[in-house]
Chain A
Amino acid sequence: MSESILKLESINTYIDQFHILQKVNFEVKKGELTVLLGRNGAGKTTTLRTIMGLNPASAGTVTFKGENITKGAPYQIANKGIGYVPEDQGIFYDLTVGENMRVAMRHENDETKERLDWSLDLFPDLKRFWKKPAGQLSGGQKQMLAIARSFINETDLILIDEPSKGLAPVIVEAVIDAIEKIKDRTTVVLVEQNFSMAKRLGEKYYILDNGMTMHHGNMKDLEQNEELKRKYLGIG
């Protein structure tokens, strides 16, 4: 059985006066792709933001590689080896593709170059538009840039928030292919509303509803469970 890389225990998070996460429990095993599922407003994005320290938890514990990171600043958490692709992609529009990648590079050494070469092979469009302002890229290319940027440093875990959002089906296919290759190299937590994408990529799933963990298990089991899908995801 593979070891736990990330563990959330009884996480409570407030945004202003709103109690968004209410005792969320969540565990990710090393090398697996875990999908966070749930309706709009279930607390999926806030869960990722809480892990990153962007919306710090008011109670509970976030443990990464055995270390308590609950009170860490976002930059400290990122430097421990967590890459983050936000829902809005977080692209710096006025910087070129190359500059977006350079901002993210903690070290400009051979290992970084190897990861850069690998990501440019994975997303050839980024190489083609290297000197183009990122704001001029298509939605799919921006998503590719955001994903490539998240693992330019040595990364043990990548958090990806709704990568298929707003993309054409053909682009979604390309993103699925890319994430499949990325999961061979690192652990991935994916927030996704597109269930067909989630079931193709995910090994484990967690369902959130009203800021609480409602169910979790193997993705293959969820595929068969029509009642769960209908109750929490509105499909099936």
Chain B
Amino acid sequence: MELIINLSINGIATGMLIFLIASGLTLIFGLMSVLNFAHGGLFVWGAYSGVFFFSLTGSFWIGILCAIVTGLILGLLTEVFIIRPVYGNHIRQILITLGLMLVLSELIKVVFGPNVLPAPVPDYLKGSWLIGDITIIKYRMFIILVGALIFCLMFFTLRYSKIGLIVRAGVMNKEMVQALGINIKKIFIFVFMVGSALAAFAGALFAPSAGAIYSELGMEFGIYAFIVVIIGGMGSIPGSLVAALLVGLANTFTAYYVPILSMVVTMLLMLIVLLFRPQGLFNVSGVSNK
């Protein structure tokens, strides 16, 4: 029983990290119909920025803040110079963002060096709590709480704020949003920057839990994010959360009991959902490419 609980906590923590990357991607995908394969690159840049500024300043929080700013800046540059010329053309989007992904990964080596970078956990989040035979690692609990907080923040912003309503409306019908007098380009930039910042934030949170980071991490997590968006339903934040937790838990349990199947199980989950609910678990009605 203790083992199940420990594995569940690990799985939920992994799921929360994947949720943070996927939540930005689902909005970008749903609202802008943009296939951004460079999203994982923003994750890895966030991880490196977080670790670099943490070691430079000694403050974990300054590291997190710098990772978010890195995500915002990279998001802005990516939207303006890379994505904008290829709106409405998925083939070009895939090619150009895959290219950008490679460039971002290689730039990591140029800026931070080619070696694996150690990523320490801040002292106050080191260690674990022991409740009976259950070991709760403090940093994993921290990730779960931060992930839950970000979900609530996104959920309530999207549900109740004006900008959230516009983004949700844009996911359903971009053309009508424009015909109501709203500059959808500004909304696109905003969503792209927030999505990128979330990916970078997830990277900065992930690094200490992994202990060390390397430049190819982005591709691995980028694929997870896409799988979660497909399982959860395009444009749905609750869908991303549920799908990310499913993927996180399935991965952790399989990695423990049948390690060889840990990647296969994620693909299998996606396959089952695509077979029975091609629109994803949480469908946003009336989504159109208009």
Contact = CB atoms under 8 A, between A and B. Distances in A.
Contacts of B177: 103
B181 A106 contact: yes
A156 interface: no
A150 to B, nearest CB: 9
B182 A90 contact: no
A90 B162 contact: no
A92 B172 contact: yes
Nearest to B160: A99
Interface in B77-99: none
B165 A75 contact: no
Interface string B11-27: 00000000000000000
Contacts of B162: 102-103
Interface residues of B, number: 20
Contacts of B284: 94
Given A93-B285, A94-B285, A103-B165, A74 B178 contact: yes
B179 interface: yes
Interface in A62-114: 73-75, 78-79, 84, 86, 90-95, 99-100, 102-104, 106
B176 interface: yes
A95 B165 contact: yes
Contact of A52 (B165, B166, B179, B183): B179
Contacts of B165: 95, 99, 102-103
Most chain B Cβ neighbours within 10 Å, of A86, A94, A149: A94
Contacts of A103: 162, 165-166, 169, 177, 180, 182
A234 interface: no
A92 B183 contact: no
Query: What 8 A-B pairs are tightest by C-beta distance, nearest first?
Result: A90-B176, A78-B181, A93-B285, A74-B178, A93-B286, A92-B169, A79-B181, A84-B179
Interface of A: 52, 54, 73-75, 78-79, 84, 86, 90-95, 99-100, 102-104, 106, 135, 149, 153
Interface of B: 162, 165-166, 168-169, 172-173, 175-184, 284-286
17 contacts: A52-B179, A54-B175, A54-B178, A73-B178, A73-B183, A75-B178, A75-B179, A78-B179, A78-B180, A84-B179, A90-B175, A91-B286, A92-B173, A94-B172, A103-B180, A149-B180, A153-B181
